Structure 1
């Protein structure tokens, strides 16, 4: 069954595996995620599960959302996201709590997160341009060169690499290996790095493109 959990990136550390090899891991605090709403193909036109993460004070939630949580019988949460589901192998009900116990060591997962933002940057740092001569009088050190045409059509083509905001993009890392699951602490240890800063929100889902054994 394909399912998704909402989590928070805690940081990175390292541990030794069974073969005494040092493995870099990213620690993610995932769940517990209460089920706030369940949508079905017959009633809503598509199958989806809406889950929450990280408790929130009631006075910090607006009235429509507060009524939505009250209807589900769960405490207000900071994060509230809906995830499509193909077909639920098990019957999820409103009020159920999803935890890291649904994952196991050795399993492949996909991590969706937001990359770190670096503010406004030039083309050399943002896109890796080489730049112009660094000598005196060149007048072309860190510029991007020609961006458009002289007279016709007299516009900049769509997709042209130019200075602008670097980072802060939604990215997905596929097929990360689950090294260890700590159910009592709601922690999951993933081999390798994960997009985003410490404390950033990430979504952990069952891998969609795992390579099948031949």
Structure 2
């Protein structure tokens, strides 16, 4: 099992031994607690459920599900091939990752609200000279007689962002075990203090 729940703390930069300055994203990875173990016999597949963070006032169903293990702010399910190595209440920490390793990070991107095609898809603007009134309009969205309709999937104005996005192949630049921090090169989707999933890269 090579997957953990983390929290994005923001971006900074680190200086390598050769003096190179690298932009990194700081992810706080507190030890995740195994809350539930799912088996193929009972649930149809093998997986473990991880809990992280702290919730001030969990409701009664959450209290019963956590079985006194803690007041978790987030629960995430991770599929695994071998569940015999895990038990409920076990803590999984940063020791499953190492510096220099490539990881994939999944998070919800920042929502931008309702946006036009210029902002959403980088469409070219219309002429900005005299007599034009379609500076940021979509333009033609289909032919008239044939096919006589708008093709499915046509890029048009709509809600932008607020979707689950995965950044592939990010390299771990540094691990600080004392503070449970992982620094990955480059940017990570989501805003500050948002929850992310960090896992071993599928392309590694």
| TM tier, smaller | over 0.9
Residues 33-76 of structure 1 deviation map (CA, whole Å, 9 limit, x = unaligned): 1100111223322111101111112xx32222210112xx4012
Residues 102-145 of structure 1 deviation map (CA, whole Å, 9 limit, x = unaligned): 21111111100111111111111111111211112122211111
Question: Which whole-Å CA distance do the structure 1 matches of 2:95 and 2:63 have between them?
Answer: 28
Asked whether the 8 Å contact 1:6–1:30 carries over to 2, the reply is yes
Show the counterpart of 1:91: 85
Question: Which whole-Å CA distance do the structure 2 matches of 1:47 and 1:119 have between them?
Answer: 38
Confirm or deny that 1:46 pairs with 2:40: no
Gaps of 5+ in 1: none
Asked whether the 8 Å contact 1:3–1:85 carries over to 2, the reply is no
Of the structure 1 ranges 122-131 and 79-88, higher mean CA displacement relative to structure 2 is found in 79-88
Show the counterpart of 2:107: 113
Of the structure 1 ranges 12-21 and 151-160, higher mean CA displacement relative to structure 2 is found in 151-160
Show the counterpart of 2:76: 81
Q: CA deviation at 1:160?
A: 0.6
Confirm or deny that 1:209 pairs with 2:184: no
Question: Which whole-Å CA distance do the structure 2 matches of 1:154 and 1:104 have between them?
Answer: 57
Show the counterpart of 1:5: 4
Confirm or deny that 1:62 pairs with 2:59: yes
Pairing partner for 1:164 from 147, 154, 158: 158
Question: Which whole-Å CA distance do the structure 2 matches of 1:151 and 1:10 have between them?
Answer: 54
| TM-score of the aligned structures, taking structure 2 as reference length | 0.92
Q: How does 1:104-143 map to 2 (within 5 A)?
A: 104-143=98-137
Q: CA deviation at 1:149?
A: 4.5
SS where residue 73 of structure 2 aligns? strand
Structure 1's consecutive aligned runs of 4 or more residues displaced over 6 angstroms after TM superposition are: none
Count of residues in correspondence between the two structures: 204
SS where residue 77 of structure 1 aligns? coil
Distance 1:62 1:155, change over 3 A: farther
Question: Which whole-Å CA distance do the structure 2 matches of 1:3 and 1:49 have between them?
Answer: 12
| TM-score of the aligned structures, taking structure 1 as reference length | 0.88
Question: Which whole-Å CA distance do the structure 2 matches of 1:157 and 1:81 have between them?
Answer: 37
Asked whether the 8 Å contact 1:5–1:31 carries over to 2, the reply is no
Confirm or deny that 1:184 pairs with 2:178: yes
SS where residue 117 of structure 1 aligns? coil
